[in-house]
Amino acid sequence: MASLSEDLRFRGLVHQLTDERLWHRLDNDRLTFYIGFDPSFASLHIGSLLQLTLLRRFQRAGHRPIALAGGGTGMIGDPGGRTDERQLLTREQIAANVDGIRPQIARFVDLADGLLLDNASWLSELSMIGFLRDVGKHVTVNQMMAKEAVRARLERPDRGISYTEFSYMLLQAYDFLRLHQDYGCELQVGGSDQWGNITTGVELIRKLSGKLAHGLTTPLVVKADGAKFGKTASGAVWLDPALTSPFRLYQFLLQTEDAVVGAYLRYFTFLDHGQIADLDAEIDEHPQRRAAQRALAHEVTMLVHGEEEASRAERASAALFGEEIASLDERTLLDVVGEAPSSTVARDALMRGEITVVDALASSGLVSSRGEARRAVAQGGAYVNNRRVEGEERALGPSDLLHDRYVVLRRGRRDYHLLVAR
């Protein structure tokens, strides 16, 4: 079995570390370490998954994890990776967001040994004078301006950076100091955009305690085009099933491009090195089978939502283009066609067989006219509940209703419409 240092290297999970001695300590000592999570939304998103899985990887290797929700630092906002100021949230919004992300973090940490904390418990008690004397005195403005996150903002005079966000790294450094003092924390882990904040904390601990602390950063998770995963309400893939269903998460991962699926398998799953190597070979030799994507989708959906939901999403995905769609439970059916346009149809007329498939296709907007609907049927490109329609006079009837109210129309490979009988 690979050591933790070997596993981290194999998976490409180390971008920078503050001290090469950390490799030996990871494999031979028991460290208390922490990873922070930003509560700017009520859910974490898929870009947070790498850090969540790191909590579990390190804990499995015998280290003690502290997952830190940023209820205090969330009041300020990290300038890292941003070109403009964050919109400040209210205390109530941040508290609600912390409550939202707690159960998502707890899925990845064994709290019998690890901790789940909120930095608001100490940051909210700080006095300005005390903080400036005890912390600010030990960090020079020269150091802070040399950090990439600050320098990038200062290079944009039209935007700049407020004193509020400029001070963020002091608060994160103080988090590390408090966790070091109160819990013996010796290591902070974070994304590569956190390097400046992490090293400031390492240096603060050295100056105030004379002890060595460590920092380790991971690569940022990017898409095949190099773009970061979105964290806007419209673009993110959330870990909260109420915001992104297990099926949608599964489908998103199933569509991962070959260029990055190998990295995602390393980042996001606990498949062993041999299994990942086999999937790498599958990508090279049989990319059309998408075995790596299916493994990624199943493993991640299972980690986030459990085996039952992963299996449900897998069945729904298999039914997406097959007749099995009729066997899906109502919730899963609506997940499968949930993003398709929908319209209502008169139940009485459908029950009497008065609505032909040509009528339904034309009125749904899947085709522009009845003539185009007839051609779609004649060419074998029209489907009812994923069954190909034979004959343009085919009428919808009671046997077509799924869960006594839905009919799924499809034209071609991917154009769906959901009819709801009322």
pLDDT at 397 over 80: yes
Supply φ then ψ for residue 222, to 5 degrees.
-125, 160
How does pLDDT run across 283-303, given as a tens digit for each residue? 999 999 999 999 999 999 999
Among 299, 279, 298, smallest CA distance to 290 is for 279
The torsion of the CA quartet 222, 225, 228, 233, rounded to 10 degrees, works out to: -130
Mean pLDDT over 392-417 rounds to: 94
Give the predicted TM-score (pTM) of the model.
0.87
**DSSP per-residue letters across 10-63:** HTT--SEES-THHHHHHHHS--EEEEEE--SSSS-BGGGHHHHHHHHHHHHTTP
Stronger pLDDT, 158 or 66, i.e. the higher one: 66
The whole-angstrom separation of Cα 393 and Cα 382 is: 13
Inter-residue contact 185 to 33 (CB < 8 Å): yes
Q: In the CATH hierarchy, which fold is given to the domain comprising 246-319?
A: Tyrosyl-Transfer RNA Synthetase (1.10.240)
Stronger pLDDT, 262 or 85, i.e. the higher one: 262
Domain ranges for the chain? 4-218, 246-319, 342-421
DSSP state of 156: -
Mean pLDDT over 316-330 rounds to: 89
Domain 4-218, CATH number (from 3.40.50.300, 3.40.50.620, 3.40.1190.20, 3.10.180.10)? 3.40.50.620
* pLDDT at residue 95 in the model: 94
- List, in sequence order, every beta strand (DSSP E) within 285-353: 342-345
Mean pLDDT over 34-55 rounds to: 95
* pLDDT at residue 82 in the model: 62
Q: In the CATH hierarchy, which fold is given to the domain comprising 342-421?
A: 3.10.290
Supply φ then ψ for residue 299, to 5 degrees.
-65, -45
How does pLDDT run across 159-205, given as a tens digit for each residue? 778 888 888 999 999 999 999 999 999 999 999 999 999 999 999 99
